[in-house]
Amino acid sequence: MAEMVKLSVNGQEVEVEAGKNLIDAVGAVGIEIPHLCYHPALGADGNCRMCLVGIEDGRPPLVPACKTPAAEGMKVQLDAEHIKKIQHDVMELELINHPTDCPICDQAGECALQDYYQKYDGQESRMTVPQVQKSKKLDFGCGVIHDQERCILCARCVRFTRQITKTGELGIVNRTDDARVTTFPGRPLNNRYALNVVDLCPVGAMTSSDFRFKQRVWFLTRDKGICHGCSKGCNIFIDHHKEKYKDDIIYRYRPFVNEQVNGYFMCDEGRMTYKKENQDRLLVAKANNAESIISSAVDSLKNSISSSNKPVFLVSPNCSLEQMYAIKKLGEAKGATVSGFSDGYILEGDGDDFLIQDDKAANRAGLELLGVDTTKEAFESAMKEADLLVNFNNDLAKSYDAAALDELIGDCKFAMVATTQDALTEKAEIAIPAASYSEYSGSVINTDNILQMFNKAVVKNEPFDDIVNIVSRIGGDVNENSAAWAGMKASVPALKDVEPEQIPEQGLALNS
Amino acid sequence: MSDRSQLIETGTPFQFDAERDAEFERLVKRYPTRESMILPALWLTQEQEGWISAEAIGYIADRIGTFASKVFEVATFYTMYNLHPVGEYHICVCRTLSCYLLGKQQIVDYLYQELGIKPGDVSKDGKFSLEEVECLGHCGTAPVVQVNGEFHEDMDVEKMKALLATLK
Ligand code: SF4
Ligand code: SF4
Ligand code: FES
Ligand code: FES
């Protein structure tokens, strides 16, 4: 437990964590100190002066809260007239050369400058001279578009590239009102985390070429999720929206703070995986090599399993723990070999020492925990004798090229329960569309053995079943997540004492 | 006030000549970190070439082992670094507060009238270039003009005229 101190803010006594800077310390008890340049992941830079507060103890009349640690007995003033004046003055300074065209700015609705103007300024401009003009729509690389006129020079983006990615592509050149963020000629943004500057930028100066002008942010529903791009399991906001007469689709992923997993950031590749939730989805079921309604495909798969002598069930390492468990139970009941072979998901050497992992699957640790075999040998030897392969969303094309796949499957009957329409679902005799991870609730275990829960975010007009339900429809016992948990708690020692409803937001570190 | 960030690319790689190379190595030992060499390395470049190109900034960054963006920041911040070729006589007029209040604009206007160059320009014959620079540190005797590094204080149009006569 962190040491606590008592201090007063505007005369009201609060108890806060000792040593934290005032912004974070009193922020934790719900008192906002406006700030632009400070960011918890980047530290205090002290350049914007928006966080100036008064402290009644004989020190100078104004001190930056971002650089002032909370201490016992401190008397912090936020509502004194001279503090309100300085906040207003800083806002006025920031706005001297800022374009006043919020309605056409992509950041509108989630802009610190806009919010603070409403809250701390609200005055008409007194400027009568023309504004300084700078460059707009600069392509900084990595899908980052910069508008120098909207920039308030807080240097968050610059500090990110220097402190976090250590690639240092960005700098603030010139001085005074000509100062601007730019890249050195021929050395654009070139790192795998560059799009984080778009989230870090408190204003509309950094935008994502992928997202900009696609959707007004106030229409977006922000739901929490887990990125399934690799085994880090970064926590994300799934920003989605259903336009009238259209389907619910995802517009972007943004990192959600989880100190235990991803901190404040996520990688660019992971950020773009939202597209797979929207596009190329398997929408139509198939039975006996022909399009069918889902229930016929389900019946057909159920019958195939019953009549099969040697079925093989292949599980995706991206399945939720609950899905894996359901598939495993069904496999046991039907005498199937259950495999989680997915070597192709592992890109040796692709990971780094920050977030990105070699393993491009969200829940390989789950396969291991449930004791599902993942070896190539076991899978291939089972396939030699198999008369039915039921593939639960495992992208075999990652592990085999087309010719090897043909050889592997041979005459074996091939069924897919899949989210994506691809060569595999083409090839399958039976194909059943399933919900993808933004459309179901479940849990995954990341590379550091942290168990994380996520909830359904997107609700499609015609939602597909979670694999757990599909498994139950083709003859499994487990029909919902709670049933899977009851079974897992009883059979998996590491999960014995885990209460799924009580998994903390930061995830639960399992003792390995 | 000007945008100095539009660097000029020469299209040829830059490197220190033997003398500057040796000087760089001598100086680098004086500092606790290599980044401290940004200012001296920019000076060395300017001494060698008369101005600092995009290639030179990239070279300095790589040589020091720092980000090009940082050297870029420093080079554009200080007006004493020439980011384009300058004339035989490089005239710097201080534009900061004291000099501003005491009439730097008359001097700048006069130079335009006389030489046809505005701050940032080089005369057609390559003889003169003009720049408005930040405080030259002689505010007590403002306005201040510097020609090829040499100070001329307490300036006015008359004195500027006389000074130009000695340069032509
Ligand atoms: S681009 Fe955004 S993050 Fe970067 S300095 Fe400007 S306002 Fe700050
Ligand atoms: S590091 Fe992995 S989990 Fe995190 S955003 Fe990237 S792909 Fe997704
Ligand atoms: S947040 Fe403290 S000075 Fe910017
Ligand atoms: S203001 Fe011109 S020398 Fe200082």
Three-class HEC string of A264-295: CCCCHHHHHCHHHHHCCECCCEEECCEEECHH
Nearest CA to ligand 3 atom 3: A46
Co-location of B57 and B95 in the same domain: no
Same domain, B67 and B132: no
C-beta of A270 in contact with ligand 2 (< 6 A): yes
Assess if residue B9 is contained within a domain: no
Write the residue with the smallest CA distance to atom 4 of ligand 2: A234
Q: Are B99 and B93 in contact (CB under 8 A)?
A: yes
Give the end of a domain, one of B77, B98, B121: B77
Q: Does A169 touch chain B (CB under 8 A)?
A: yes
Ligand 1, atom nearest to A160 Cα: 3
Cβ contact (<8 Å) for A162 and B67? yes
Q: Is residue B12 a part of any domain in this protein?
A: no
Contacting residues of B for A173, CB less than 8 Å apart: 4-5, 72-73, 76-77
Q: Could you tell me if the CB of A428 is within 6 A of ligand 3? A: no
Q: Which of A405, A31, A58, A447 is nearest to A261 (CA)?
A: A447
Residues B94 and B156 in one domain: yes
- Strand ranges, E, within A220-273: 221-226, 235-242, 248-255
Which residues, in sequence order, are bridge partners of residue A263? A258
B33 exposure class (CB count in 10 Å sphere: 0-12, 13-18, 19+)? exposed
Q: Which chain B residues are Cβ-neighbours of A185 within 8 angstroms?
A: 7, 9, 54
Contact at 8 Å (CB) between B41 and B60?
yes
What's the pLDDT tens digit per position in B75-93?
Answer: 999 999 999 999 999 999 9
Domains in chain A: ranges and CATH: 4-79 (3.10.20.740), 105-111+128-208 (3.30.70.20), 227-278 (no CATH), 285-509 (3.40.50.740)
| H-helix or E-strand spanning residue A509 | strand A508-509
B1 is a domain residue: no
Q: What residues pair up with A311 in beta bridges, in sequence order?
A: A388
Render the burial of A278-296: b for 16+ CB within 10 Å, e for the rest: beebbeebbbeeeebebeb
CATH for B139: 3.40.30.10
What pLDDT is attached to residue A61? 85
What is the rounded CA–CA span in Å between residue A385 and residue A335? Answer: 13
Residue-wise pLDDT for A281-310, tens only, equals 999 999 999 999 999 999 999 999 999 999
CB pairs under 8 A between A and B: 63
Check CB contact under 8 Å for A174 and B4: yes
Residue B148 lies in a domain: yes
What CATH number should be reported for the domain holding residue B46? 1.10.10.1590
pTM: 0.95
Q: B70 and B99 share a domain? A: no
Among protein residues, the one whose CA lies closest to atom 2 of ligand 1: A201
Which residues of chain A have a CB within 8 Å of the CB of B67?
A: 162, 167-169, 171, 184
Ligand nearest the Cα of residue A261 is: 2
The SS3 assignment for B119 reads: coil
Give the distance (Å) from ligand 2 centre to CA of residue A347: 14
A96 to chain B, any CB pair closer than 8 A? The answer is: no
pLDDT at A512: 57
**Contact of B72 with A171, CB cutoff 8 Å:** yes
Residue at a domain's end among B26, B50, B77: B77
* Alpha carbons B89 and B122: distance in angstroms, whole number: 10
Q: Is the Cα torsion angle B29, B31, B37, B39 positive or negative in sign? A: negative
* Domain membership flag for residue B3: no
A169-201 burial code (b ≥16 CB/10 A, e <16)? bbbbbbbeebbbbbbbbebbbebbbbbbbbbbb
User: Cβ(A156) to ligand 1 under 6 A?
Assistant: yes
Contacts of A177 in chain B (CB under 8 A): 1
Give the pLDDT confidence score for residue A16 in this predicted structure.
97
Q: Decide: A151 in ligand 1 pocket, CB within 6 A.
A: yes
For chain B, helix, strand, coil in percent to 5 are 45, 10, 40
Q: What is the pLDDT of residue A107?
A: 97
Q: State whether residue A188 sits within 8 Å of chain B by CB.
A: no
Minimum Cα–Cα distance from B81: chain A residue: A174
Looking at this predicted complex, what is its ipTM?
0.94
Whether residue B93 sits in one domain with residue B163: yes
In a domain, B66, yes or no: yes
- The alpha carbon of residue B7 is apart from the nearest alpha carbon of chain A, in Å, by 8
Overall number of domains in chain B = 2
Q: Report CA(A414)–ligand 2 centroid distance (Å).
A: 31
Name which of A134, A158, A174 to mutate to probe chain B: the one with the most chain B Cβ atoms within 10 A of its Cβ.
Answer: A174
**Residue B154 in domain:** yes
Cα–Cα distance measured from residue B24 to residue A371, given in angstroms and rounded to the nearest whole number: 62
The whole domain housing B47 covers 18-77
> How far off is chain B from A101, nearest CA to CA, in Å?
24
What is residue A60's predicted lDDT score, i.e. its pLDDT?
Answer: 85
* CA nearest to A80, candidates A173, A8, A6: A8
Q: Is A42 exposed, middle or buried (0-12, 13-18, 19+ CB in 10 A)?
A: buried
| Whether B57 and B116 share a structural domain | no
φ/ψ of A294, rounded to 5, equals -60, -40
Q: Is A35 in the pocket of ligand 3 (CB under 6 A)?
A: yes
* B4 is a domain residue: no
Residue at A183: amino acid letter: T
Question: From its phi and psi, is residue B143 left (phi > 0), alpha (psi between -120 and 50) or beta?
Answer: beta
Looking at the DSSP bridge assignments, the partners of residue A378 are none
- CB–CB of B95/B145 below 8 Å? no
Residue A178 contacts B, CB cutoff 8 Å: yes
Residues A106 and A212 sit within 8 Å (Cβ to Cβ)? yes
Q: Which residues of A touch B134 (CB under 8 A)?
A: 175
Where does A145-267 have alpha helices with state H? 156-159, 196-200
Domain match, B30 and B65 both: yes
Residue B158 sits in the same domain as residue B112? yes
Does residue B100 share a domain with residue B36?
Answer: no
Asked whether the CA dihedral B24, B26, B30, B32 is positive or negative, the reply is positive
CB of A50 closer than 6 angstroms to any ligand 3 atom = yes
Cβ-in-10-Å burial (0-12, 13-18, 19+) of B78 comes to middle
Considering the domain architecture, whether residues B50 and B93 belong to the same structural domain is answered as no
- If chain A, 512 residues long, is cut into consecutive pieces of 10 residues, what is the mean pLDDT of each piece? 90 95 97 97 97 90 95 94 95 94 96 95 91 96 98 98 98 96 98 98 98 97 98 98 96 98 98 98 97 97 97 98 98 97 98 98 98 98 97 98 96 97 97 98 98 98 98 96 97 95 95 66
So what's the pLDDT on residue B2? Answer: 82
Reported as a single tens digit per residue, the pLDDT across A93-128 is 999 999 989 999 999 999 999 999 999 999 998 989
Nearest Cα of chain B lies from the Cα of A46 at a distance, in angstroms, of 19
Give the residue whose CA is nearest to atom 2 of ligand 2.
A230
Q: What distances in angstroms separate CA B62 from CA A132, A168, B84, one per listed residue?
A: 33, 13, 21
Of A246, A225, A501, A206, whose CA–CA distance to A362 is shortest?
A: A225
Please report residues of B whose CB lies closer than 8 A to that of A161: 69
Buried b (16+ CB within 10 A) or exposed e, A202-214: bbbbbbbebbbee
* CA gap B118, B131 in Å, rounded: 8
Which residue from B136, B126, B138 is spatially nearest to B79, judged by alpha carbons? B136
State which residues of chain B have pLDDT below 70: 1
Residue A170 Cα, gap to closest chain B Cα (Å): 6
Scanning the structure block, which residue is given the tokens 């609700």? A459
Among the bound ligands, the one closest to the CA of B100? 4
pLDDT at A511: 75
Structure tokens at A309: 């002598």
Are residues B97 and B73 part of one domain? no
Domain boundary among B49, B77, B105: B77
Residue A288: both structure tokens together: 């006996």
Do B93 and B159 belong to one domain? yes
CA A330 to ligand 2 centroid distance, Å: 31
